Amino acid sequence: MATIYHDDDADLALIQEQTIGVIGYGNQGRAQALNLKDSGLEVIIGVRSDDTEAQARQDGFEVHSIREAAERAQIVMMLIPDEVMPEVFTEEVLPGLAEGKALCFASGYTVAFRTVVPPDNVDVVMVAPRMIGAGVRQTYTEGAGFPSFVGVHQDTTGNALQTVLAIAKGIGSTRSGVLELSFAEEAHLDLFTEQGFGPAFGQVLLSSMQVLIDAGYPVEAVMMELILSGEFAYSMQKIVELGFFKQMELHSNTSQYGSLTRAVRFIEAGMSETISVTMKQVLEEIRSGTFVREWETEKQAGLPMFTQLKDLRELHPIAEWEKKTRKGFRMD
């Protein structure tokens, strides 16, 4: 059974006397910094560019270079993109780290796959929000919360778990609950959602569109029916609120009967097994580090495969279908 912590399990006072250095002021950086400040904590920002610095100052923060923020802070929050983190960490953050400080990541990726290797005299913790930056801020200001995965990779002070729970409380996440995971587990789940679930779901959607359009239904009707009306997104939200089966009750009996009986056909046709085979392969490549090595090689080569696939993506007719539908319904 996973351990899930809530507000009562975390004590903000533990980090009240410490300076938190938020490195990066983008999606997560800005949202988390504002939430921590509004929770009464002392936050400074470390950024590289003048524009971002101006934005952070306008929001009321003391702003420094990344190196200086890492030197001044006792808790250093790494909120820059994972792909630039290794270089920035080695050149700008590492020199500012001293024994007993805490280094906090919003994703397990860099530490789990060792593209960042922290020194062994600091605490290394993770608060990985299951929420985009805008939602991190919005839910906080509304008094609600958002779930996160938290983890301790390295505990040199003996207080790492309490520190990470206090940070999670400061950003407003323990209001919903935070689940303890290793950095590797968080990274694997995140990558699997992107590489297993996402593409499989995308293929189902594209196949459905193609079957209906090939059968002669108007493109605009198909696009509206399947995705652009927002009905599907609404049902997904109801799954979150009510549960997978309970939300079915919101649909007609015809809908439920048709859906349940035809689901059996897809199972009998072996769809679950076919998908599972590829999904297991994808998961294994993530867990073994094969994917990360492939991605590192691709980046070093100047992204040839990535560029080619992005170009190919543009050739799919879905962009045209969407354009036509949006124009017809005056959605733009």
- Asked if 172 interacts with ligand NDP (CB under 6 A), we say no
125's tokens: 């913790």
- Asked if 106 interacts with ligand NDP (CB under 6 A), we say yes
CB of 165 to ligand NDP, least distance (A): 18
Q: Which is nearer to ligand NDP, 194 or 294 (CB)?
A: 194
Q: Which is nearer to ligand NDP, 79 or 209 (CB)?
A: 79
Look at residues 97, 159, 154 and name the one whose alpha carbon lies nearest to residue 126: 154
Of 15, 20, 88, 228, the one binding ligand NDP (CB under 6 A) is 88
- Asked if 202 interacts with ligand NDP (CB under 6 A), we say no
CB of 24 to ligand NDP, least distance (A): 4
CB of 26 to ligand NDP, least distance (A): 2
114 dihedral zone (left: phi>0; alpha: psi -120 to 50; beta): left
Q: Please name the residues in contact with 86: beta carbons below 8 A apart, sequence gap of 6 or more.
A: 110, 115, 116
Of 26, 60, 100, 317, the one binding ligand NDP (CB under 6 A) is 26
Q: Which is nearer to ligand NDP, 5 or 89 (CB)?
A: 89
Q: Which residues of 85-110 are buried (b: 16+ CB within 10 A; e: fewer)?
A: beebbeebbbebbeeebbbbbbbbbb
- Asked if 132 interacts with ligand NDP (CB under 6 A), we say yes
Of 6, 37, 48, 287, the one binding ligand NDP (CB under 6 A) is 48
Asked whether 10 and 116 are in contact (CB, 8 A), the reply is no
- Asked if 127 interacts with ligand NDP (CB under 6 A), we say no
- Asked if 107 interacts with ligand NDP (CB under 6 A), we say yes
Q: Which is nearer to ligand NDP, 25 or 61 (CB)?
A: 25
- Asked if 171 interacts with ligand NDP (CB under 6 A), we say no
CB of 48 to ligand NDP, least distance (A): 4
Give the amino acid at 40: G
Look at residues 31, 39, 44 and name the one whose alpha carbon lies nearest to residue 7: 39
Going 100 to 105 to 108 to 109, the CA torsion angle's sign is negative
DSSP count for the chain of H helices, then E strands: 17, 9
Q: Which is nearer to ligand NDP, 131 or 160 (CB)?
A: 131
Compute the half-sphere exposure of residue 101: CA atoms within 13 Å on the CB side of its CA. 23
d(CA 140, CA 137): 5
Which residues of this protein are in contact with ligand NDP, per CB under 6 A?
Answer: 24-29, 47-49, 52, 79-82, 84, 88, 106-107, 128-129, 132-133
